Amino acid sequence: MKRFLLVLVALAAAASADQLVNLKIDGMMCPACVKNVKGSLNEVKGVKETSVYLKEGKAEVKAAEGTKPESMCDAVKKAGYGCSVAK
Ligand SMILES: [Cu+2]
């Protein structure tokens, strides 16, 4: 039982080390844009997983705790798209 609890605590700790950030992306017109945005986000230090949604104009980013959402948006803007952090 004690061991089981320890595993649970370890799992919780691992989960809390990541954060989910929602970004609003403007200017995506086609799948190539999605690829561009995804690529630029994945180059940001700390970013682990990125899902980009063309129709919704948004991105969901899984990143290490402490990764600044602003740094993600900067990367997207550099790639030529509009970006704001969705709250
Ligand atoms: Cu495009």
pLDDT at residue 74, rounded to an integer = 98
CA of 14 to the centre of ligand 1 (A): 36
CA of 46 to the centre of ligand 1 (A): 26
| Domain-wise residue ranges, the chain | 18-86
Identify whether the C-beta of residue 37 lies closer than 8 Å to the C-beta of residue 73: no
CA of 16 to the centre of ligand 1 (A): 34
Q: Please, which pLDDT band fits residue 28 given cuts at 50, 70 and 90?
A: very high
Query: pLDDT tens digits, residue range 29-87?
Result: 999 999 999 999 999 999 999 999 999 999 999 999 999 999 999 999 999 999 999 97
pLDDT at 2 over 60: yes
The DSSP secondary-structure symbol of 22 reads E
**Best CATH choice for the domain 18-86 from the list 3.30.479.30, 3.40.47.10, 3.30.70.100, 3.20.20.60:** 3.30.70.100
CA of 58 to the centre of ligand 1 (A): 14
Q: Please, which pLDDT band fits residue 1 given cuts at 50, 70 and 90?
A: low
Mean pLDDT, rounded, of the chain: 90
